[in-house]
Chain A
Amino acid sequence: MADFSSSFDMPSAGSSENAEAAELQRLIAVEQQKAQFQAQVHNFTDVCWDKCMDKPSSKLDSRTETCLVSCVERFIDTTLTITNRFTQMVQKGAH
């Protein structure tokens, strides 16, 4: 995915222009957060499609829909489990 981070130095200007620049940075940060959410949805959909979809049909049946929801939840749980356990391993001095 594209790197959506942007930082720019504003030249020292009047305080009203600084306030405008700060507000602009805040608005851009909001859009970046939305973009990060979208990027995660793309990743989850990619993984969970493989887990849950059989042959494409004329609509998404409830079993598949349930599978997709569970897939997202369990993927996040897995991420948290790995993060926590890895943190413990590092703290104990494991490689």
Chain B
Amino acid sequence: MDSFGSDFSSGSSSGKIDSGTIMEQVKVQIAVANAQELLQRMTDKCFKKCIGKPGSTLDNSEQKCIAMCMDRYMDAWNTVSRAYNSRLQRERARI
């Protein structure tokens, strides 16, 4: 994974920190890393589910399976995200 590196030097000669630009960079880098993680895991799962004995190309059924698998993986991800969020809120309410 890419390292979380950011250039914290400001472009202005006064040396003041440009918080807005830095936060934009932070958010973009995190979003990119998140998307990379999603794709990597999705590829792993869908390859396992959809490709049996690897042939010389991806045939039509394999293509369709991959497309469905991607949609289901994202549905699963959203379901898990909601479930985890609920659990966290429940635990916080107990404290």
Residues of chain A whose beta carbon lies under 8 Å from any beta carbon of chain B: 1-4, 6, 8, 13, 17, 20-21, 23-24, 27-28, 31, 34-35, 37-42, 44-46, 48-49, 52-53, 55-60, 64-65, 68-69, 71-73, 76
A60 close to B76 (CB less than 8 A): yes
Which one of A23, A38, A46 contacts B19 once the chains associate, using CB atoms below 8 Å? A23
The 5 closest A-B pairs by CB, nearest first: A72-B83, A2-B1, A56-B69, A60-B75, A69-B83
B17 close to A21 (CB less than 8 A): yes
A-chain residues with CB within 8 Å of residue B68 when the two chains form the complex: 56-58
State the interface size on chain B (CB cutoff 8 A): 40
A49 close to B79 (CB less than 8 A): no
Which one of A1, A31, A44 contacts B1 once the chains associate, using CB atoms below 8 Å? A1
Could you count the A-B residue pairs with CB atoms below 8 Å apart for me: how many are there?
110
Q: Is the interface of B mostly helix, strand, loop or mixed?
A: helix
B77 close to A41 (CB less than 8 A): yes
B73 close to A31 (CB less than 8 A): no
Asked if B59 is at the interface of the complex by the 8 Å CB criterion, the answer is: no
Within 8 A of A (CB), among B2-25: 2-4, 6, 8, 15-17, 19, 22-23
